[in-house]
Structure 1
Amino acid sequence: MINPNGFSKCEATLRARSRRRPLAEMLHLLSAVIVWLVTGTTISSLNKWIFAVYNFRYPLLLSALHMLTAIVVDYGLIKLRVIRHRGAAEQDLTPNAKCKVFLLSLTFCASIAFGNIGLNYVQLSFAQMIYTTTPLFTLAISSLILGKQHHIIKYTAMMPICLGASFSIMGEVQFDQTGCFFVFAATMLRGVKSIQQSILLQEEKINSVFLLYLMSIPSFCILAVAALALENWAMLESPLHYDCHLWVFILLSCLGSVMYNLASCCVITLTSAVTLHILGNLNVVGNLLLSQLLFGSELSALSCAGAVLTLSGMLIYQNSEFIVSCMDARKAKPEGTDFESESEDLCNSSRVTTDFTCFSDLFSLPNLSALLIMLLLSSNVF
């Protein structure tokens, strides 16, 4: 089939895949993904350690401290010009953009507060398995709100992801209904938050550091008021009575949350909201292993099977473009006589390069990591 611009669908797909990011942008994206994965794994374990080991029952206060740290760090980066601000200044933001930032703050507060509250009731491994369904919520919301059209392959990839999460729930050794509710609510709000971030970062062109600074101010106020109103301060001891190691872990958790949020903004700016959460499923193995190592969590065979299913869905989504291009190439073969000779020459000349690109994409870091995780979990099952 020939497009109106004279190129076949096969050729358009090959041309699209042949466009590669500049080296500097690729290094920026790679470093952001690594920081995001590392901090995402450590923050959940740190928070669970704070709640479980030190019996610190103030998740809203901890979330408020996260936002206060973000305000201090981002303000310092902006004032010291460590980060060159190329986005819109605060006074240049339209009322519509300011409203979007405030709505993002509300969603952000609810997501992290619900997530921390849920960790009080459920195991870290269970929470991480539920979080793997975030791409489904993000995909659905982007279709409903933004009107984005996604290929059927991407929706197909969501099936094993959700089925794997269901298996993990059924295989959970210590199931708690209240914790499950809060974790599911946090998962849905994570998807909404990512869509809101992508709109502000990609459409409003707001710098990631500046955006985090803007949304941290109302977020801190909301969480601080919620902590004062909802948490039991009568049981809070003097800070001097707590183990000094607790405050070290809280400080590390706060700094890690700032790095995590900044890295997530960078990844969304360079990719998409759905891709962010698909890559985030690689955090599953780190949190599962840390949950077993630090908290003695038991992983049943059904939970491990659920993790394998979830990661297989991630592999399908990660390589959806490669699958679509192969399908388009197969469909284009019977119609080869309809192609113009110039288009045929271009397809043939680029086929070797494209095949090599597809082959290298199959052995990319996310794919190899997911395959390694699946092998480890499968060995645990059998």
Structure 2
Amino acid sequence: MAGLEGRPPETKKGQLVVAVLIWLLTGITISSLNKWIFAVYKFRCPLLLSSLHMLTAILVDYPLLRFGVVKLKAGEDVALTAAARFRVFLLSLSFCASIAFGNLGLNYVQLSFAQMVYSTTPLFTLALSKALLGTRHHMLKYTAMLPICLGASFSIIGEVQFHHTGCFFLVLSTFLRGLKSVQQSSLLKEERINSVTLLYLMSIPSFCILFTAALVLENRAVWETPSRQDNTLWLFILLSCLGSVLYNLASFWVITFTSAVTIHVLGNLTLVGNLVLSQILFGSQLTVLSYAGIALTLMGMSLYHNCDLVAGRLGSKTAKSK
């Protein structure tokens, strides 16, 4: 899953579509699985769940790399420098913190609320890519952030079960999601690290951090977790772990094809799917403001993805008027 240089445009487009579809489907599935684990089975160990996600990534990625299942391209098999390894460690910190805060937030709020807060991630990513990488963006992309964030605000106001602690955790998670995407983009494109390799390298310190935190903060919750239907609970946890590996690999792939900002704008497409599942599985109630927020968010996404087309038409109209 490396860069696409030298491949026909049709191949690049086809692989991008496949990567985006996998990413969207696994994202919707994992969010619903995690909420089901927390809400239905009263599983009170979000940090432990996050650490299991990282452990699964290690167990899956190691044999893929060790036995040559993943073919590395020229430049990808070079040993990483100390600076690059340190950057991977920083990515691990951002990654596990964003996951942990997100899972903590889901303990307090509905899935629909969480997804609406996450819809503001493109704004954080846009600002961070400008501040950290010096990336220049078209003015229309900044304009598109207005309906995206306004839509999220409407949805928060319209959410029936607002919780300040949950909102705080989710905002922190959202900021860190933007930061880790910028870090991922830099490592994948500048350091030319293969997607599977990057996930494997970052999963090791992430697992150590999250598992240690779980032992310290959640040791009592483990014993308080209901024992009924244990087999079904652990089946859902296994599915969540396997899905997280596929989701993370797909997200790295999409970032390689596009950018750190684009992946989060695309991620807002999961909004509709998660809201539907939240209503079906958890009985979430959406108000008129919530639906208005969805509409504004989707409008902002449309403007973002078509900013070049809009800019071209505006430019042609300006030229004609002169």
TM-score, normalised on structure 1? 0.80
| 1:165 shift after superposition | 0.7
Give the match for residue 3 of structure 2: none
- Who is 2:178 aligned against? 191
Residue segments in structure 2 that go unaligned for 5+ positions in a row: 1-6
The answer on 1:123 being equivalent to 2:76 is: no
1:35 aligns with 2:22: yes
Matches of 1:177 and 1:305 in 2, distance apart?
A: 22
Change in 2 beyond 3 A, CA 1:180/1:148: same
Q: Which residue of 2 aligns with 1:99?
A: 86
Distance 1:183 1:84 in 2: 37
Q: Is the 8 A contact 2:34 2:240 kept in 1?
A: yes
Alpha-carbon distance in 1 for matches of 2:226, 2:202: 28
Q: What is the deviation of 1:231?
A: 1.2
C-alpha deviation, 1:235, in angstroms: 4.8
- Residues 221-260 of structure 1 deviation map (CA, whole Å, 9 limit, x = unaligned): 0001010111143652699765211111000000000000
2:133 and 2:245 map into 1 onto residues whose CA distance is 28
1:320 is displaced (CA, Å) by 0.4
Distance 2:90 2:226 in 1: 33
What letter matches 1:55 in structure 2? K
Native 8 Å contact 2:144 2:301 kept in 1: yes
Would the aligned equivalents of 1:194 and 1:273 in 2 still touch at CA under 8 Å?
yes
Q: Shift in Å at residue 79 of structure 1?
A: 1.9
C-alpha distance in 2 between matches for 1:224 and 1:204:
28
Q: Is the 8 A contact 1:85 1:210 kept in 2?
A: no
Distance 2:25 2:147 in 1: 25
Aligned partner letter, 1:272: S
Q: Which amino acid aligns with 2:193?
A: I
- Correspondence for 1:375: none
TM-score when normalising by structure 2: 0.94
Contact 1:46 1:249 in 2 (8 A): yes
Question: In 1, Cα distance between the equivalents of 2:102 and 2:63?
Answer: 28
CA distance in 1 between partners of 2:209 and 2:162 (Å): 30
Q: Aligned residue for 2:148?
A: 161
Alignment match, 1:23? 10
User: What residue number does 2:56 align with?
Assistant: 69
User: Per-residue displacement from partner, 1:56-92 (whole Å, max 9, x unpaired)?
Assistant: 0000000000000000111121123221122534x72
Equivalents in 1 of 2:98, 2:311: separation in Å?
A: 34
Contact 1:165 1:310 in 2 (8 A): yes
Corresponding position: 1:88 with 2:76: yes
> Which structure ranks higher in relative contact order (CA pairs < 8 Å, sequence separation ≥ 6)?
2
- In structure 2, the partner of 1:8 is none
2:213 match: 226
3-state DSSP class of the match of 2:133? coil
CA distance in 2, matches of 1:220, 1:241: 27
Deviation, 1:334, is 6.5
Q: Does the Cα contact within 8 Å between 1:35 and 1:260 map onto a contact in 2?
A: yes
1:307 equivalenced with 2:294 (yes/no): yes
Q: Given the alignment of the two structures, is residue 152 of structure 1 paired with residue 174 of structure 2, yes or no?
A: no
Letter in 2 for 1:113: A
Please give the alpha-carbon distance, in whole angstroms, between the structure 2 residues aligned to 1:67 and 1:234: 20
Whichever of the two has the greater Rg, that structure is: 1
Once residues 304 and 207 of structure 1 are traced to their aligned partners in structure 2, the CA distance between those partners, rounded to angstroms, is: 40
1 CA distance for matches of 2:117 and 2:226? 34
Q: Number of matched residues?
A: 315
User: Structure 1: which amino acid aligns with 2:49?
Assistant: L
Within 5 Å, which residues of 2 pair with 1:171-190? 171-190=158-177
Contact 1:40 1:283 in 2 (8 A): yes
Q: Distance in 1 between matches of 2:304 and 2:103?
A: 29
Counterpart of 1:4 in structure 2 is none
The letter for the 1-side match of 2:76 is A
1:54 Cα deviation after fit: 0.3
Q: Given that residues 140 and 304 in structure 2 are in contact (C-alpha distance below 8 angstroms), is that contact kept between their aligned partners in structure 1?
A: yes
Which one of 193, 213, 230 corresponds to residue 243 of structure 1?
Answer: 230
What is the aligned partner in structure 1 of residue 274 from structure 2?
A: 287
- In 2, the alpha carbon distance for the partners of 1:169 and 1:207 equals 38
Q: Which residue of 260, 275, 281 corresponds with 1:273?
A: 260
Q: Which digits, 9 at most, give the CA deviation of each residue in 1:38-67, with x for residues without a partner?
A: 000010000000000000000000000000
Secondary structure in 2 aligned to 1:108?
Answer: helix
Once residues 226 and 22 of structure 2 are traced to their aligned partners in structure 1, the CA distance between those partners, rounded to angstroms, is: 31
1:117–1:234: structure 2 CA closer, same or farther, 3 Å change rule? closer
Residue by residue over 1:136-192, the C-alpha shift from the partner in whole angstroms, topping out at 9 and shown as x without a partner, is 000011111111121111111000111111111111101110000001111110000
Q: Give the gaps of 5 or more residues in structure 1.
A: 1-19, 336-382
Counterpart check, 1:46 vs 2:29? no
The amino acid of 1:193's aligned partner reads K
Q: 2:44 aligns with which of 57, 70, 73?
A: 57
RMSD between aligned residues: 1.7
Aligned to 2:122: 135
2:232 counterpart SS class: helix
2:197 is aligned with 1:210: yes
